[in-house]
Chains A and B, each alone.
Chain A
Amino acid sequence: MILAALTAIVGGCDPSNENEWDGPVIPVSLKSIEAVHIDNSGEFPVVADSLVKKEAYMVGIKWIADNALTDDDDKFITGPIHKGEQLYGNMADRYSKAIVCLTPFNAGTPAGKYVSKYFKEIDRNYLPAGVNEGFVLLVAPDPGKHAFRVEYYDGEELTFFYETAPIEFY
């Protein structure tokens, strides 16, 4: 009886029983992108649509995907991950990103020039909710209204792009 109790205790403490159920693996593909302005001057970044401090500007990217994640875990059939399938978290990693200024950036950078070198990608844990990628601006432009075009390249081929609305920098 003691042996049975010990077995039950050990069995109940089996670490394999404590593994959480892994969520379903959902193959997804990127359909398009959307860019938003982000104000990163405070403790937490927030999506902005008017005035942003030029030293604290970030452009955020939202991914538009097919087979997007839902809260209904039973909807999709789980299966093995085959080579080439993409998960929601990394489906944009295969693309190279570039940013063009649609307005004059500063005295040495006219409209239409690539300003990718002035941006750096930020850790995705430091983004507002709903934003999947973020690129902080590390070189302050001239004050005034600015707009950017974000481009995603698959190799040399331009696959997606999005032009932001103008934003006022101060």
Chain B
Amino acid sequence: MIKKFLFLVVVTAVTMRSLPAQDTVILASPNAWLDFHLVQHIGLGKWNSAGYANEGLPSASMTELRGVFTFFIAKPALHAFMDMGIGIMPAPGMKSLDISRMPMPNEAHYYLREIRSESGPDKASAHFKFTAGLSWNLQASDKLNILPALGVGGLTMQQRQFDLILKEQGSNTQYHTTYVWGKHIDEEYGSTTETLGYLTGRLNFKYKMQRMSLLFGVEYTCFFDRMHFYGRYSNMFYDNIQKDIQVKGNNMNMLGISVSASF
């Protein structure tokens, strides 16, 4: 908490001026301005209902720093915005592969013989986020403006994958096993970084003080793309697929609180 507070102080100290359209503006164009927001998002559910599938992904919360560029479309109140930001998500619950938590080809006990490769985040990870949309500026009083906004955007998520060898207890049987967490579970897709699309609704409150303006906002983000889990077991001696597992992910929803200050 203390680190986040100090970070907020630094951010607000370098935030560019953000003024309502009726007063002075920041950029050369009088109809546009730039803000920097610090946002804390909290997940309102899980990426996946299956425990092992959920904990292979970063924890569902994010601290985001974003730049918001706003410009007028139709006076006096309608304008459009575009923002880009970097969000930090905490490390996954399952930082290293724990086969005791993973599904197996059958009821037998298995030994982890070898992890051939692994990729994807096992620590806190950075994600690129972008949004575009429309907002409306309502002047509630001389000092208070209310800005509802609606937008669409995308959040990058890196696919996580393990390739390993499982050996069956009491038998010569060995399986080449692949576990994948990703948006696409098509083997031929090939991309390791994917974009989850979302809809977002925001309600910002801008309060004008003597020498600065404070902006406080709440936002709700609904992801229409999901992160799925995929497992495949191939018999190493006969090179045939013993079992395929697919666990569909949930539509994630996040609630966010944003703060900004302009001078």
**A and B form one complex:** yes
Q: Report which of A42, A53, A125, A136 forms a contact with B237, defined as CB distance below 8 A.
A: A136
Contact B237 A56 (CB under 8 A): no
Chain A residue at minimal CB-CB distance from B170: A41
Is A55 interfacial (CB 8 A cutoff)? yes
Q: Verify if A57 is at the interface (C-beta below 8 Å from B).
A: yes
Contact A56 B170, CB 8 Å, known A120-B237, A136-B237, A138-B237: yes
Docked pose: A142 CA to B46 CA in angstroms: 51
CB distance from B149 to the nearest CB of A (A): 52
- Whether A153 sits at the interface, judged by CB under 8 Å, is no
Q: Do most interface residues of chain A lie in helix, strand or loop, or is the interface mixed?
A: mixed
Question: A22 in the interface, Cβ–Cβ < 8 Å?
Answer: no
- Number of A-B residue pairs at CB separation under 8 A: 32
Cα separation A136 to B238 with both chains bound (whole Å): 12
Query: Considering the chains assembled together, what is the distance between the CA atoms of A40 and B174 in angstroms?
Result: 11
**How many interface residues does B have (CB within 8 Å)?**
10
CB atoms of B237 and A55 under 8 A apart: no
Chain B residue at smallest Cβ distance from A55: B171
Whether A57 touches B172, Cβ cut-off 8 Å, given contacts A136-B237, A138-B237, is yes
Min CB distance, A5 to chain B, in Å? 36
Bound Cα distance A123, B73 (Å): 67
Chain A 17-52: CB-based contact to B (< 8 A → 1; otherwise 0)? 000000000000000000000001111000000000
Q: Are B170 and A43 in contact (CB under 8 A)?
A: no
Asked if residues B111 and A56 are in contact (CB atoms below 8 Å), the reply is: no
Cβ contact within 8 Å between A136 and B169: no
- A interface vs B, CB < 8 Å? 40-43, 53, 55-58, 120, 122, 125-126, 136-138
5 example contacts (A-B, Cβ-Cβ < 8 A) are as follows A42-B169, A53-B170, A55-B172, A126-B113, A138-B172
